[in-house]
Amino acid sequence: MSLSSPFINRPIGTTLLAIALVLVGLTAYMRLPVASMPNVEFPAIFVQASRPGASPEIMASTVAAPLERALGRSRASPK
């Protein structure tokens, strides 16, 4: 006697069991406490850097790029 033989021999009972499982699953799914708009806070880093008399190109190459590399590297590494 295999595991599936009672289900094959009683197709009406098997169908009713399947319908009951679907209904219980749908009821449980509808009762899940899920917010439509969950509160999610994305990590942000705010840095202010200045270099008096420097052009935007110099600031981008000597200040902003190294800061971005350093902050990106520290964020990716686990603490």
Give the model confidence (pLDDT) of 14-57 as tens digits: 999 999 999 999 999 999 988 778 788 887 878 888 888 888 89
What pLDDT, on a 0 to 100 scale, did the predictor assign at position 29? 93
What pLDDT, on a 0 to 100 scale, did the predictor assign at position 36? 78
Exposure string for 34-72, b = 16+ CB within 10 A, e = fewer:
eeeeeeeeeeeeeeeeeeeeeeeeeeeeeeeeeeeeeee
The answer on pLDDT for 6 being more than 50 is yes
